[in-house]
Structure 1
């Protein structure tokens, strides 16, 4: 377990798999009538509460200061509340597999933002990789989700905003990581902050009893809380070990899980252009990764 905690590739595979499971869980929740803001709240509130309890039980501190409050608020918005709202609203329209592909675009946006902020040095191979990846993303977007029921353009646009928001969060967490803060502490604080935002959104966006549909899927709620708690503990550790661009590659593992679960368990199917676009995105990632390795050598 200690070796896994210090292994970037091991953390990447575990984190990506757990993230991938969130996609079919979200589609099943939507089918049960759970509003997107409520399901996103379940994830952040459950993960935040479990992680904070674990931190306190093991004697960990949770001191607040101005820096950490700023960090929690910004990370909560751009890494959790906004992308999860978009994700769970879009999944019923785009499909689990297509939504998963949106995560694969995050590394390209992350690298592009890193270059803009001079966190990474530009080179020809990396720039070409971003171009190839974005070409693939455009091709995927034009297919508009499942082959049998193309989504409205507004839902495709919502899907594309997911990797943009995630990339902003990837870069911000590296730039503003509070000194002396551990990954569990940051995960707990950020998720509890996101839970407050999502609670307000859930109460404002739906009338009556927005949490009532959760009673119909208690096992799904428990499974999601367990998965998200483990995922975000590993997520912040991967941020510290691998850095923002490496972290953003969890989307490739998550997309694979999403495509497999969507096709084999939820009956989804996708056009050849969607698969071609996913291949181009993967080629773009390989190019940008090699460019980074050359710079680090």
Structure 2
């Protein structure tokens, strides 16, 4: 077996590690952000102020990273309009709703609600035949939805 063939086989065996680590890190960050939002409310910071500082901090980190790599994004009128609309629709508005709901329903319930769209997206992709049905993925979606159902039922009981 050639060196490139061995490297290809070795790489495919460990190909699941990076997606798994990204999934775990993303889940942990969602949990941390909702708990931080709860704590921010307890110390008197409004959801809008917490959202502002969160997004400003993330933007600063990303800008610094891009600056260090000499990969700044283009800044022209159409791009800035896209950035503004995408930030408002996909980040600011939804997170403001979530952070405002935390004092009323709890951080755990909000984190649970945040985790549902990817699951429902997978189901929609199967219905629209964008994604192939896979038993293992379907089992994962069913387990996640069952867990969400148990947590939701426990919250409302």
User: TM-score normalised to the size of structure 2?
Assistant: 0.67
Deviation at 1:104, TM superposition (A): 3.0
Q: Indicate yes or no: 2:119 matched with 1:105.
A: no
Task: Name the residue aligned to 2:39.
Answer: 28
Residue aligning to 2:19: 8
Alignment of 1:47 onto 2:38: no
The verdict on how the C-alpha distance between 1:140 and 1:10 changes in structure 2, with shifts beyond 3 A counting, is: closer
CA distance in 2, matches of 1:117, 1:67: 32
SS of 1:50's equivalent in the other structure is: helix
The count of aligned residue pairs is: 142
Q: TM-score, normalised by structure 1?
A: 0.39
Q: Provide the rounded CA distance (Å) in 2 between the counterparts of 1:118 and 1:71.
A: 29
Superposed, which structure 2 residues align to 1:145-294 within 5 Å? 145=155
- For residues 111-152 of structure 1, give each alpha carbon's deviation from its aligned partner in whole angstroms, at most 9, with x where no partner exists: 134345543245788778767765665564455x4xxxx6xx
The residue number in structure 2 matching 1:77 is 88
1:36: how far off? Answer: 1.2
Instruction: Give SS of 1:34's match.
Output: coil
User: Partners of 1:79 and 1:66 in 2: how far apart?
Assistant: 20
| Pairwise CA RMSD | 3.5
Cα deviation, 1:77-104, whole Å, max 9, x if unaligned, reads 3431122112211111112222222233
Q: Closer, same or farther in 2 for the Cα pair 1:121/1:43, shift >3 Å? A: same
**Per-residue CA shift, 1:193-251, capped at 9, x if unaligned?**
xxxxxxxxxxxxxxxxxxxxxxxxxxxxxxxxxxxxxxxxxxxxxxxxxxxxxxxxxxx
Distance in 1 (alpha carbons) for counterparts of 2:24 and 2:140: 22
Distance 1:23 1:64, change over 3 A: same
Gaps of 5+ in 2: 1-13
Q: 1:132 to 1:34 in 2, by over 3 A?
A: same
CA distance in 1, matches of 2:136, 2:113: 23
The 1:69/1:23 distance shift into structure 2, 3 A limit, reads same
> Highest relative contact order (Cα 8 Å, sep 6+), 1 or 2?
1
